[in-house]
Amino acid sequence: MSPTLASAPGSCCFSGVKHIGTPVGRVEDLGGIPTYISDPPAATQKVILFLADVWSPLFVNNKLVQDYFASCGYIVLGPDYFFGDSAPNHDGPDRQTWIDNSRKPAIDAFPAWLDAVKGKYGRENTKYCAVGYCFGASFVMDLCSDGSVVAGALAHPAFLDEDHFEKLDRPLLLSCAEEDHTFPLASRRRAEDIMVARKSTYHFQVFSGVKHGFAVRCDPAIDTQRWAKEESARGIVSWFDRFTV
């Protein structure tokens, strides 16, 4: 088996601060998966696939991030591959079992969802990007290896191994915490070594003073955490803008 670089979500993936705001998107069924859809101010053929952490794209923090991406000129689509049964329902000893049991249904449901997305939003002229947080990272890496997207981004990823980086065929941004139990420094440097050897197009953001989960569940009352979260999102948009012109 390929060596693990980003491990499974841990206990800190079930904690964080709930953010305040009013989401502006809607939920529709796409390919059998409830999907959060946030529309940009004007018509576009640029789409971000938002592959959420264990809190699902329907958690308010994730909705607000998706709305921000939409405000920057992208159609944003967040599939709830947990089908309503996300982290807030598992605040107890069943957490790891739930994570283990959630992966296969999500992976199995994703191809039909992606096909439905491309059927609705276009297959030829639409430019798709994908961003994955924690649980969603491996979906992004698969999309970046099979040509389904023009660029990808990860934030504090989980469930990655060396093969994901060996197969990378699209530009990739990695938004990382200085302290991250799932994607520690040694793994981050190994991932970079692989991308350097393969001459991949990549960019790292590494934020001090924050931990795994900062890009969606930080404490906005703490300046360092708020800035890191916001800069992560800004960086992801800027990265995608490079490849969707």
163 carries an active-site annotation = no
180 carries an active-site annotation = yes
Burial of 74 (0-12, 13-18, 19+ CB in 10 A): buried
User: Catalytic pick from 19, 156, 164, 212?
Assistant: 212
Whole-Å CA distances, 200 to 105, 165, 166, 191: 31, 9, 10, 11
- 191 phi and psi, to 5 degrees? -60, -45
Three-state DSSP at 3 gives: coil
Three-state DSSP at 231 gives: helix
**139 closest CA partner among 156, 155, 159, 124:** 159
**Both tokens assigned to 140:** 């992004």
User: Catalytic pick from 19, 90, 180, 218?
Assistant: 180
**Measured between alpha carbons, how far is 57 from 74 in angstroms, rounded to an integer?**
16
Q: Across-strand partners of 128?
A: 47
72 carries an active-site annotation = no
**Both tokens assigned to 164:** 């994901």
Catalytic positions, please?
Answer: 134, 180, 212
